[in-house]
Amino acid sequence: MNAAVALAERFGTPLVIYDLDTLDASIERIGSAARRYGIEVSYAGKAFLCVAFARYLHERGIGIDVSSLGEFETTRRADIPPESLTLHGCMKSDAEISLVVDGFVGRSVVDGCEELARTIERSSPQQPTPILLRLNTGVAASTHAAIRTAGEASKFGITADAEPEALALLRHAEGRVRFLGIHAHLGSQIDERSAFIAHALALVDAAARFADAGFPIENLILGGGFVGDPEPILAECIPAMRERALQCGIPFPSIGIEPGRAIAAAAGMTILRIGAVKRTSQKRIAICDGGLYENPRPALYGATHPLRVLTNADEATEPTLLCGRSCESDELGTYDLPRSLAAGDAIALLDTGAYTVSMASTYNRFARPAVVAVRGNDAVLWMRAESLDETVARDVRP
């Protein structure tokens, strides 16, 4: 970890470091499972995205999901071709829909009937827009409500009750869209095989309904949400899906998955500096230079990250509440930290490669952190730290 401390001194803290060897291992693990079952892989860009990372994934044959003009612009600057891009989003703007209509993105996952009508209206028979429909299978997995994206309470997708309206829109589209198939996503951090299987079978049943209505399914996308290696889940899901498709009398479609966290999380760690240590009548509190603004996951849904002490690591420890420096409680977790812990000491939070940098905010107008990619002794800057001028760049002088 001395190398990590050296990088922190060079680039400042907070600092997010991606270990490329770990990243490659995650990509190969997922790629191996995908090849075994003939599955298409598209990375969920919302987990983490920058120009260098987008190019890194594309060079390894992985598609990318984008959900905004900003995410698309990132992939455009990385020279990702349209056929490698899928557009997501539960409330697409006209400009976002135009990305697919005008051919800048390969296909759109349409999230509702209103969006489907808008997409049809903006499209033409001369250049049909490739689409999938995002369904809500009704399967609510056991995960935090903030990261659950299916079930009766979810805002995402087309429910079974709304399928007749979607089919009617497709029938009257007059060749303006090219219907590819269906998609559904359970949520994030789902370690529940039974939910995945129920979700997958519900999608096959939906595929049979669409086929009966005259719209056969070419592509069926299971979404993501894998905690780690998807192979054990796929080993159960794919045979069950094949059997259900056989029972329904439909051809088995091409299957896709959309891992985000499973690719990026383990490769990232965040280096932080302790800025203050305090004691109350009940506990010791250490305040670091990170927190809510650079990693909102603990505040949003109680996420915790493994921690390594980079200085004084061999000393006796005591339980310590680690907090960020935001003007909120922003508790990061209770850890056993050295008794001699003091301002200036360095720590590392692990598994911060997903949903940290991508969710960083401008709260308190703290500068968002730099991102560095490392392989061995080589370090490449992927994202520089935000400057003070950039934090106020949008302000208009009165």
At residue 209, the pLDDT reads 96
Residue 100 has pLDDT above 50, yes or no: yes
Which band of pLDDT confidence, cut at 50, 70 and 90, is reported for residue 227? confident
113 catalytic? Reply is no
Residue 338 has pLDDT above 90, yes or no: yes
Strands 177-183, 129-134: pairing is parallel
Which band of pLDDT confidence, cut at 50, 70 and 90, is reported for residue 74? very high
Strands 85-87, 107-110: pairing is parallel
What average pLDDT does range 86-96 have in this prediction? 97
Which band of pLDDT confidence, cut at 50, 70 and 90, is reported for residue 97? very high
Cα(239)–Cα(334) distance, rounded to whole angstroms? Answer: 43
The letter for the amino acid at 217 is: I
At residue 79, the pLDDT reads 98
Q: Render pLDDT for 171-187 as a digit per residue (tens, 0 to 9).
A: 999 999 999 999 998 87
Q: Render pLDDT for 33-51 as a digit per residue (tens, 0 to 9).
A: 999 999 999 999 999 999 9
Which band of pLDDT confidence, cut at 50, 70 and 90, is reported for residue 226? confident
At residue 149, the pLDDT reads 46
Give the number of C-alpha atoms closer than 13 A to the C-alpha of residue 186, restricted to the C-beta side: 29
Q: Render pLDDT for 24-36 as a digit per residue (tens, 0 to 9).
A: 999 999 999 999 9
Share of the chain above pLDDT 70, in %: 95
Residue 3 has pLDDT above 70, yes or no: yes
What average pLDDT does range 254-283 have in this prediction? 96
The structural domains of the chain, ordered by start, are 2-16+266-387 (2.40.37.10), 38-259 (3.20.20.10)
Cα(64)–Cα(87) distance, rounded to whole angstroms? Answer: 9
Lowest mean pLDDT among 61-75, 189-203, 364-378: 189-203
At residue 147, the pLDDT reads 40
What pTM was estimated for this model as a whole?
0.93
At residue 146, the pLDDT reads 43
Catalytic residue among 90, 248, 288, 327: 327
Cα(350)–Cα(332) distance, rounded to whole angstroms? Answer: 12
Can you read off the two tokens belonging to residue 170?
A: 């497709």
